[in-house]
Structures are given as C-alpha cells and as structure tokens.
C-alpha cells in the first residue's frame, strides 16, 4: 500500500472509506492505539509546520534573547538567502526549511520571535525552537535560552494569532488536519548539561537521566496533542561521538565509540517512547542517517566527515566561529562547525524525513 491519500480521512471506527480521486486506496487498519482516525499524508495535506527544539531547528529565535548562544553573524548564513546570517547554526538552511519547501508553501520556516513575521508566515508555520535548549529545563537555564515549557507557551500564543487570522474553527482544523509538528532536542541535555555541569550527574546515573529526559519529552508531546497536534515527528539525537568537538575533547581519531553508544541508546529510547505514544507520532532516526553519510561519504558527495568547515573545524562553533575563515568547498563537509551539520547534510536529513512521512500513516 504505497499510494498516498489527499486530504482523505478514513474513520476506522465507522469503517467508512471516502475517496476523492483514483490515487486513493484502502487505508491501513487501526494499530489498536485507540486513535479514532488513520491519515496518510501527501505533500498537499500539510500546509503548516510548527517546530520545537534546539539549534537543529532554531531559525533565529535566540537573536531576540540576552544569551551568548547565537549565530547571527558571518560566516553563518553564507549560503542562506542573500548570504545573510539568520541565526541558524548552519551555513544555509535547516532540515525543517527543506521540509517546508517540499510541502510547497514557503522556502523557510520563520522564527516565532522575529518581529518581521507576516500573516502568511503564521499560516504556513513557525519555529519556537531555541539553540542551547533541551528536554531538561536546566539545560535551557544554563544558556539563558527558551525552555520547552516556554516554547509550548509560545505555541499557545501562536494559536491565538491563528484564530484571529482565520477564525476559531478553521484554526483548529489547520492544526489538527494540516499541520506537521517537529520536535528536535536532546543533544544539549548531554553535552551542555549532564557532562558539563555537576547538578544532574550528582542527582542521576546516566540511565536515570535518560529516563528523566524521556519523561520530559512525553510531557511535551502530550501537551502538544492537547493543543491539537495529530501529526508529530520526533527527531532522535545525532551520533554525538562523531561531532568534531566531541572527537577533540575525547582525543580520538575517528568517532568516539562510547559517545555514539550513548546517543544510540537514547535515540532507541525516543523511538520506543514515540511508538508507545501512538501512530500520531513518528520517529526520525537521524542517528542512522548521519552515520550513513559519515560511513559512505562518496554516495552523498561528501569528502570531509570528521572536521567542521568553520575555523580549524575541531572546536569552533557559535561565538568562536565569528569572523573565522572557512573551508574552500563547504558542499563537501558533513559538519558546518564543530557541532552542527552543514546545509547539505540537512538536505539529506530532510529528504529522508520526507520519504518516511509519505510512507507513514498517521
Ligand atoms: C530555571 O530557571 C527558572 C527561573 O529562574 C527557575 O524558576 C527554575 O527553577 C529553573 N529550573 C531548573 C531546573 O533549574
Ligand atoms: C479534518 O479532520 C476531521 C477529522 O479529524 C474531519 O472530520 C474533517 O472533515 C477534516 N476537515 C477537512 C477540511 O478536511
């Protein structure tokens, strides 16, 4: 059953099958999670994308905050529209920008705190994400950035704006039927919190801390559902041991095996939890996607998989990258700085996400 349904809802309870065109085929049976509907999306089902998380999905909310966790300066943004730094921790666009583009309404997802945001931007989605944030509130506090509860608060504000634009019923319908939610966080809870600050490591073993993060994640996603979310993509964590900065800190030649094991374990927990929440949440395994690119660089046009493009490529990111020289061909790098993927890597992640989304039945 690979055929895609356009704006067709199959009510499993009533076993009513509606179809609008001959592309449509029978929907899959209920997975028994108690959800009352099964929806398969195509590009046109999604008109809006709403995003929560960290620097992997922050298009510049931190520009508005009193924090040093920023990237609104060159060389960041050198491949963004007009070569303009936007606050994205990348040379160009993020995976969520490419996803939004694939849905056909906008070429990038705007930052909710951007004062230049338009009505059209609001209709087609925004990001509440904040670089440096995590599932643990303490992680956001350590960098003076936006914690998850506050991002959810912004989502509530967003809904008020949307209601004012299109009316209450239409707003609810857009959120329920036509909006893809993306949540991408977790990396900073380990790198900037558990392994950098002693508060949590005194309180929790690493296993306990992972479970704590998962319980925070569950609360975030359930809150999103209570606000109307019915299509949620939960992104795993990348292979932390391959990040240039981790390789430098651990003084290893290739990827650090221990850190990668940890990232794999945490990603598996995210996968399990998203399965348990039900079909309306879909896990995106960026751990595997990024490892794949690092292990088969040629297939993706990459040459440099270990170093970032900015500065020495071994430790610089954020403020430390400011005004730094960069590599000669950034299209050949998996990493843009010592932490963050390059635009080309994000494009590959977006392509995988899209493929997964088109196969999935929410
Ligand atoms: C984060 O900061 C806020 C405001 O200062 C505080 O109320 C909260 O308890 C802090 N959270 C954690 C987990 O430290
Ligand atoms: C939105 O989804 C609901 C079921 O969740 C359905 O009853 C309704 O007809 C849908 N609206 C549109 C405009 O497709």
pLDDT for 42 equals 67
Spacing of C-alpha 7 from chain mean position? 24
Assess contact for 242 and 260: CB atoms under 8 A: yes
Q: Is pLDDT of 306 > 80? A: yes
* pLDDT number for residue 166: 96
Q: Model confidence at 43, in pLDDT bands (50, 70, 90)?
A: low
For residue 139, how far is its CA from the centre of ligand 1 (angstroms)? 10
- Residue 347: predicted pLDDT: 98
Q: What is the per-residue pLDDT for 6? A: 30
Is the pLDDT confidence value at 206 over 80? yes
pLDDT score recorded for residue 38:
56
For ligand 1, atom 2, the nearest C-alpha belongs to 141
pLDDT at 134: 98
Confidence at 7, pLDDT banded by 50, 70, 90:
very low
pLDDT at 12: 27
Identify the residues whose C-beta falls under 6 Å from ligand 2.
Answer: 7, 9, 37, 173, 176-177
- The sign of the dihedral angle between the CA atoms of 141, 146, 148, 154 is positive
- pLDDT-derived band at 41, boundaries 50, 70, 90: low
Ligand 1 center to residue 147 CA distance, Å? 9
Q: Which ligand is nearest to the CA of 8?
A: 2
User: For residue 37, what pLDDT is reported?
Assistant: 54
Q: What sign does the CA torsion over 104, 108, 113, 114 have?
A: negative
**Which of 6, 8, 9 should be mutated for ligand 2, with most atoms under 8 A from CB?**
9
- Say whether the peptide bond before residue 115 is cis (omega within 30 degrees of 0): no
The answer to whether 47 touches 179, Cβ cutoff 8 Å, is: yes
How far apart are alpha carbons 68 and 126 in whole angstroms?
A: 23
Distance of CA 40 from the midpoint of ligand 1 (Å):
40
Question: Which atom belonging to ligand 1 lies closest to the Cα atom of 136?
Answer: 13
* Residue (of 223, 63, 51, 201) closest to 138 by Cα position: 201
* pLDDT of 188 above 80: yes
Higher pLDDT, 12 or 57: 57
Q: What is the pLDDT of residue 142?
A: 98
- If you measure from the C-alpha of residue 66 to the centroid of ligand 2, how many angstroms do you get, rounded to a whole number? 42
Q: Report residue 44's pLDDT band, with 50, 70 and 90 as the boundaries.
A: low
If one residue of 136, 141, 204, 215 were mutated to test the ligand 1 pocket, choosing by the most ligand atoms within 8 A of its CB, it would be 141
Q: Ligand 1 atom closest to Cα of 141?
A: 1
Find out whether 242 and 286 touch, Cβ atoms under 8 Å.
no
Tell me, what's the pLDDT at 47? 94
Per-residue pLDDT tens over the stretch 103-148: 999 999 999 999 999 999 999 999 999 999 999 999 999 999 999 9
Which of 173, 174, 231 to mutate to test ligand 2, by most ligand atoms within 8 A of the CB atom?
A: 173
The atom of ligand 2 lying closest to the CA of 36 is 5
Mean pLDDT over all residues of the chain?
90
Question: What confidence score (pLDDT) does residue 34 get?
Answer: 40
> How close is the Cα of 149 to the center of ligand 1, in Å?
11
- Cα separation of 210 and 348, whole Å? 28
* pLDDT 10s digits, 271-304: 999 999 999 999 999 999 999 999 999 999 999 9
CA 141–ligand 1 middle distance (angstroms): 6
pLDDT higher than threshold 60 for residue 9: no
Tell me the per-residue pLDDT of 320-358, one tens digit each, with 9 for 90 and over: 999 999 999 999 999 999 999 999 999 999 999 999 999
Read off the pTM.
0.89
Query: What is the atom index within ligand 2 of the atom nearest the CA of 7?
Result: 14
For 209-237, what is the mean pLDDT? 98
Positions marked active-site: 55, 337, 340
Structure tokens at 19: 């179809």
pLDDT at site 1:
32
Q: Which ligand is nearest to the CA of 47?
A: 2
């Amino acid at each position: 059953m690979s055929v895609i349904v356009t704006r067709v809802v199959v009510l499993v309870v009533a076993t009513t099958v509606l179809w609008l065109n001959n592309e449509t085929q029978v929907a899959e049976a209920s997975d028994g999670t108690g959800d009352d509907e099964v929806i398969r999306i195509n590009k046109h089902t999604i008109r809006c994308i709403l995003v929560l998380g960290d620097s992997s999905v922050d298009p510049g909310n931190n520009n508005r905050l009193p924090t040093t966790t920023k990237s609104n300066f060159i060389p960041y943004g050198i491949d963004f529209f007009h070569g303009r730094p936007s606050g994205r921790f990348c040379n160009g666009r993020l995976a969520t920008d490419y996803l939004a583009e694939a849905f056909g309404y906008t070429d990038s997802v705007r930052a909710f705190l951007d004062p230049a945001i338009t009505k059209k931007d609001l209709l087609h989605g925004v990001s509440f994400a904040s670089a440096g944030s995590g599932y643990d509130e303490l992680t956001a506090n350590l960098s003076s950035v936006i914690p998850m509860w506050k991002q959810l608060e912004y989502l509530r504000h967003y809904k008020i704006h949307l209601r004012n634009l299109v009316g209450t019923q239409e707003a609810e319908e857009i959120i329920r039927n036509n909006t893809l939610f993306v949540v991408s966080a977790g990396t900073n809870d380990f790198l900037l919190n558990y392994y950098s600050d002693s508060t949590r490591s005194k309180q929790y073993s690493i296993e306990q801390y992972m479970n704590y993060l998962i319980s925070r994640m569950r609360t975030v996603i359930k809150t999103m559902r209570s606000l109307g979310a019915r299509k949620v993509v939960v992104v795993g964590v990348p292979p932390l041991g391959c990040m240039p900065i981790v390789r430098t800190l651990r003084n290893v030649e290739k990827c650090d095996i221990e850190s990668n094991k940890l990232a794999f374990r945490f990603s598996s927990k995210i996968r399990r939890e998203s399965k348990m929440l039900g079909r309306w949440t879909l896990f995106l395994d960026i751990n595997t996607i990024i490892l794949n690119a690092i292990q088969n660089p040629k297939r993706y046009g990459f040459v440099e998989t270990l170093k970032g493009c900015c500065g020495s490529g071994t430790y610089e990111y954020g403020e430390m990258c400011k005004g730094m020289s960069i590599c000669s061909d950034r299209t050949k790098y998996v990493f843009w700085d010592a932490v963050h993927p390059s635009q080309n890597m994000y494009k590959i992640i977006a392509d995988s996400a899209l493929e997964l989304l088109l196969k999935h039945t929410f």
